[in-house]
Each structure stands twice: as C-alpha cells, then as structure tokens.
Amino acid sequence: MKILMLHGINHNMFGKRDPRQYGTVTLDEINASLSALGQELGAELEAFQTNCEGAMCERIHQAYADGVDAVLINAGAWTHYSYGIRDALAILTCPVVELHMSNIHAREPFRHVSVFAEIVMGQICGFGVDSYLLALRAAVSAVQKTQKTGQ
C-alpha cells in the first residue's frame, strides 16, 4: 500500500515556527514517525513538502498518475483559500485525509473554513503530531475496507 503525505507551505519551518501552536518537532521527525507507523501498518509512505502552490498541484497530479492508495494532506494556510489545490485533490480517486496539528476551529476565524472539506474523506485536527498518526491510521483503514469490498 502506497500513501503520499503532502506537507504545505511553511511546514519546512516546523520546530522553529510558533512553538505554542506547533510544538518543537521538526518536519523530519514527523516524517520519521509516519514512516515507522507506516511500516507497522504495512504501508509505504512517501513525504513531499513545498512552499509553491503549483508544485503541490503537480505532485497531486503525479499521485493520480502513479495510482497511490491514499493521500494525507496538511496544506497549512492553503487549506483556507487554495481552490487550485482543492481542484487537484478532487481529481484523485483514492481516500484523502486532511489534517492539521492545531485545532483550526479554535483559532482565527479565517482558519475555520477548509476549501477541501467537501472533497476529502475526513479531517483530523488539534492533536499535534498525533494528528499525522491518526490520519495515517484512518487512511490505511479506508484502503483496507476498499480492498475488501473491491470498490
């Protein structure tokens, strides 16, 4: 099972950026935790991070062409306004799980809206690094259900 983790804008600064919201964990540490859990769950995880919206869309297109089994996305601020990324995600036929380290519904009003919400399988937020691990578990479960039912 192949799962793609998409990290959005400014996530390369985890560990340095607003530790009150995001803690001190780095992106490399998050990816290592995801890879370790992926191995336990029988999933191969590939991580991609960019600060360029077009590059994110192109990586999503590549995921479609590659036939990945599921996509996890923490798009950061793009979550709230990027219709380009939303439309790219809508092309995918696999489960897509949106996640955020902070509880976006308890923050500034502009963060309460996700333009991805109506096209993703679900959203996990507010659990810090555990949001990533919960999202991976949800994606693996969704893929396994799809494989059992053949749909």
Strand partners, 74: 7
CA 68 to chain centre: 14
Catalytic residue among 7, 11, 22, 132: 22
Known catalytic membership, residue 100: yes
Work out the number of other CB atoms within 10 angstroms of the CB of residue 56: 25
100, 105, 112, 132: the catalytic one is 100
Q: Does the annotation count 81 as an active-site position? A: no
Which one, of 95, 103, 83, 147, lies nearest residue 120 by Cα? Answer: 95
- C-beta of residue 73 within 8 angstroms of C-beta of residue 138: no
Catalytically active residues, by annotation: 22, 100
